[in-house]
Amino acid sequence: MIQLTRNDPQRVGALDYLLTGTMIAVTVYAATQSLGVLNYSSAFVSAALIGCLFSYAVTRLMPADKASLLSGIAYAAIGAFALFVNPNFLPEDNPQLVMPRFLVWLLVTGSFAMWQDSTLLFQAVPCVALLALVGVYDTFKGAVLCFFLFLLCLATLMGRAHSRLMMKQAVASGFRRVEMLKESQWRWVAGPEWALGSALAVVIISILGAPYLQESVQGIAGVVKFNPPVSKDIQKPAIFSGPSDSVTSKVGQGPRSLTSTIVFYATLDHPRYMRVATYNNYMLGGWGQRNPDGVGDNISQYARGQMKNPLTYQFKIEPVALATTGYPMPAEVSSLSDTRALEDVQDGTWRLKGGGPAPSLSGTAMQPEATLVPTKADREMPARFEPYTVLPPRSYRVAQLAEDVTANAKTDWDKANAIKEEIDRRCKYNLFAAATPERRDPVNYFLFESKEGYCDLFASSMVLMARSVGIPARYVTGYYPVRDEKDGQGRYVIRSSDAHAWAELFFEDAGWVVFDATEGAVSVPGSARGDATVQLWFETFWFRFIVIPAAMVAIGYLLYGLQNLIKAARETKIETSLKTARAYRRFETMLRRAVGHPRRLSQTSREYVDASKVELGPAYEIAQQVNTLFEEALFSPKVSEATLNSLEAESDRLKKALDSRPNPKKR
C-alpha cells in the first residue's frame, strides 16, 4: 500500500511547487509569446504545471533519500532528451532557434523530475537563460512583467530552500529539537518573507532605475545591430481582435491570431459581407486610401445610383466587443436608425465618431435585383474614381496572368469569374501561412511562389488582376459569418475569427459586387475560413480537463491540510495549557502543605515563595527555580513538551527537597 510520507520541514513542500510552477509558467509563456507560437503557449504552460504536480506527488510518495538519488538521474535523462530530441514546434527550422527550443523543452519536461531542492532550484537556470533570450529578441512586450513575477517567485523559493538547508545544518550540528527553532534560535530571523520583501524592493528599484539607466547610456547604446532569428511572420500581437480599419492595411504579414471572442450580433436575412473599411491604393506590400481621411469621393452614392431596380432589406447590428472604429455594415446602407454616433465615410463604410460604447443600430440596405447578372464593368466612371482602376508599378507578371486567364472570356463578368477561378485553382487557403519575405511583393509572392495564404492575399490578388483587365476594383476588410452560426434569437454570431477581407468589383447596373476568391479555394486541413487560430487559455482542453481538476484537488488538499494544522495547533495548545495548569496546581499544593497556608489572593506566586523562605528552608532555592519555570510556562504563548517535562522533573526535585527537610516538630 502506498504510504504518504510525513510532512517534513526539511523537504520541499506544496508552496515550493506552486512557486516553481508559476516561475516556469511565466517563463514558458513569455518565450512562446516572444517566439510567436501562441497556440503552443497554453499547452506548454499546462504541461509544466502538470509536471510540478507530478513532482510534488513523487516527493509525497517516495522516501527522501530515494527521491534525492533518482531526481538527479531523471533530470539528467530529461536534459539529454531536451538537448537531442526537442521536437520542433516553431514554424521555422532556423538553427538559431535551437537554443530557445531546447530551453522550453528542458523547462517543461524537467518539471517532471523536480524531486528535491537542487533540481527545483536548477530550473531557474533555463528560466533565466530563456528570459534573457526573450529580452534579446525583444518581441514580447510583457517580457519585463513576466521577469519580475519570475524574480519574486525565485526569491521566495530560494529563501525557503535556504531555510531548509539551514535546518539540515541544525540537525547536523546535533540540535535535536528542530521543530522548536522558530520559537527559539530562529525567532528573529530575516527569512523567506524578507527574501520576498527584498525582491519587491528590487522590482521597484528596477522600474524606477532602468529607464534612467537606459537614458544615461544612450550615447553608447545600440552599437550592435542584431537581427533576431525570430522572423517577422511570428512577431505578432498576442490577440488579433478584428479586421484592419486603419489608413493602411498590410497584407501577407503571417498568421493572424484569431480568437473565438464574440464581436457583435447581426440580424440579417442571410449571411452577408459586412464592411469595416475599404482601400483603393495598393503600395509597398499593403493597401492604403488615396485620400488619407477616406472621405470625399462619395463612391457609395455613385454605387447606389448605379443599381437598377434595387431591392432593400433590413438589418440590425448589436456590438459586443468592437475593437475597431469602423462600424460593420452590410452593403449598401440607405438608411440608419440613428446616425449620431457614426460618420459616413462615403465609401460604403461607417465609423464611430468618438469615444464611448458602440451603439446598436438597425437600418435598411440596398442590393441589386436578384436575377440581375451584370456583364459590363463600369469603365466610364468619373475621373475622381480613377484610383479604383490604377495598377501599381511592377505588376507586369500579375497583369500578364490576368490577361492569360481571361483571354477566352467574353464579358467583364466572365473575366472576373475566370480570375477568381484561377486564384482558387492556384492557391490554397492557409491561416498559418508564413509571411511574405522582406522586400518581396506579397501578391507576386503569393500567386507565383508560395501559393498559400489567407484572405488578404486572395482579395489583393483578385483586385489587382481585375484592374489588370480594366475592371474597377477595391480591397475591403470586414466580417462574414462563414460558419452560419446563429443564437437563440436568430441573430448571426460574429466572432473575431469571422474577420475577413475580400474584393469588390464595380459593374454597371449593379455597383460594387463582392468577389471572394477564398470561396472556392482548397483549405489546408485545420486552417479553413472561420477557424480560430488561437484558443484562449481558459478554453483549452488542457485547462478545462486537466488543470482545473488538478487545481481543485490541490486546493482541496491544501484546505484539508490547513484544517488539520489548525486542529492540531488547537489541540496542542489546549493540551499543553491543561498540563501546565495541572503541574502548577501540584506545585501550589506542595507549597501550601509545606508552608501551612495557601497563597493569598493579593500575592503573586513569586511573592508567595519569597514570603515562605523560612518555612521552606533548604528547599527555598529550588522552589524559586520551579516558580521561575512556571512563570515562563504560564505566560509564554506556546509551551513545549520539553518545558513540561522539565517542569515535572523540577517539581519532583522540589518534593524530595521538601520531604527531606528536618521535621520542625522533632526539632
Q: Which is nearer to other proteins, 68 or 360 (CB)?
A: 68
The alpha carbon of residue 469 and the mean position of all alpha carbons in its chain are separated, in whole angstroms, by 48
C-beta separation of 155 from 198 below 8 A = yes
| Terminal Cα distance for the chain, rounded | 71
96 makes contact with other proteins (CB under 8 A): no
State how far the alpha carbon of 518 is from the alpha carbons of 105, 365, 421, 522, in Å: 37, 25, 10, 8
- Return all residues near 216 (Cβ < 8 A) that are at least 6 apart: none
Nearest by Cα to 327 from 487, 514, 494, 463: 494
For 381-395, give one letter per residue: b (16+ CB within 10 A) or e: beeebebbbebeeeb
Residue 610, CB-side half-sphere exposure with 13 Å CA sphere: 6
637 binds other proteins per the rule CB under 8 A: no
Sheet with strand 452-453: strands edge to edge? 452-453, 428-429, 522-523
User: Residue 245 burial (CB < 10 Å; 0-12/13-18/19+)?
Assistant: buried
161 forms part of the interface with other proteins (CB under 8 A): yes
Task: Find the radius of gyration of the CA atoms of the chain.
Answer: 39
Residue 635 binds other proteins (CB under 8 A): no
642 binds other proteins (CB under 8 A): no
- Nearer of residues 227 and 663 to other proteins, judged by Cβ: 227
| Closest CB to other proteins among residues 168, 397 | 168
Contacts of 27 (CB under 8 A, 6+ apart): 107, 126, 127, 130, 131, 146, 150
Indicate the length of the chain as a whole number: 667
Stretch that binds other proteins, among 44-52, 76-84, 98-106, 145-153 (CB under 8 A): 145-153
Q: How far is the CB of 174 from other proteins (least distance, A)?
A: 5
Longest dimension (CA), the chain: 144
Q: Is 224 in the site for other proteins (CB under 8 A)?
A: yes
| Region of 19-27, 166-174, 494-502, 569-577 interacting with other proteins (CB under 8 A) | 166-174
3-state secondary structure 470-490: CCCEEEEEEECCCCCCECCCC
- Quote the least distance from Cβ 204 to other proteins, whole Å: 9
Helix residue spans in 362-521 (DSSP H): 396-405, 412-426, 442-445, 455-468
Query: Would you count residue 223 as binding other proteins (CB under 8 A)?
Result: yes
**In the complex, minimum distance from the CB of residue 338 to other proteins, in angstroms, rounded to a whole number:** 45
Q: Which of 56, 75, 115, 148 binds other proteins (CB under 8 A)?
A: 148
Q: Which of 125/574 has CB closer to other proteins?
A: 125
Q: Which of 95, 222, 355, 488 binds other proteins (CB under 8 A)?
A: 222
CA distances from 152 to 16, 155, 183, 200, 659 (A): 13, 5, 27, 7, 63
Q: Which is nearer to other proteins, 126 or 368 (CB)?
A: 126
Q: Is 12 in the site for other proteins (CB under 8 A)?
A: no
Binding residue for other proteins (CB under 8 A) from 69, 70, 136, 528? 136
Instruction: Determine the 3-state secondary structure of 281 from DSSP.
Output: strand
> Binding other proteins by CB under 8 A: which of 135, 387, 392, 617?
135
Question: Of 333, 339, 336, whose CA–CA distance to 312 is shortest?
Answer: 333
Nearest distance from residue 155's CB to other proteins, in Å? 6
Between 61 and 201, CB nearer to other proteins: 201
Q: Which is nearer to other proteins, 155 or 657 (CB)?
A: 155
Among 24, 31, 153, 155, binds other proteins (CB under 8 A): 155
Residue nearer to other proteins on the CB measure, 217 or 578:
217
The answer to whether the CB of 285 falls within 8 A of the CB of 251 is yes
Among 4, 84, 93, 174, binds other proteins (CB under 8 A): 174
- 643 forms part of the interface with other proteins (CB under 8 A): no
Report the alpha-carbon distance of residue 581 to residue 389 in Å, rounded: 100
Does position 168 interact with other proteins (CB under 8 A)? The reply is yes
Question: Residues binding other proteins: what is the number (CB under 8 A)?
Answer: 64
Per CB under 8 A, the list member of 13, 191, 271, 470 interacting with other proteins is 191
> Which one of 83, 190, 551, 555 is in contact with other proteins (CB under 8 A)?
190
Distance between CA atoms of residues 130 and 144, nearest Å:
13
**172 is an interface residue for other proteins by CB under 8 A:** yes
Q: Work out how close the CB of 597 gets to other proteins at its nearest, in angstroms, rounded to a whole number.
A: 38
**Using the rule CB under 8 A, is 227 a contact of other proteins?**
no
Choosing from 26, 134, 402, 405, the residue that interacts with other proteins (CB under 8 A) is 134
User: In angstroms, what is the minimal distance from the CB of 118 to other proteins?
Assistant: 6
Binding site for other proteins (CB under 8 A): 117-118, 121, 124-125, 128-129, 131-132, 134-136, 138, 143-144, 147-148, 151, 155, 158-159, 161-163, 165-166, 168-170, 172-175, 185-192, 194-195, 198-199, 201-203, 205-207, 209-211, 213-214, 217-218, 220-224, 226
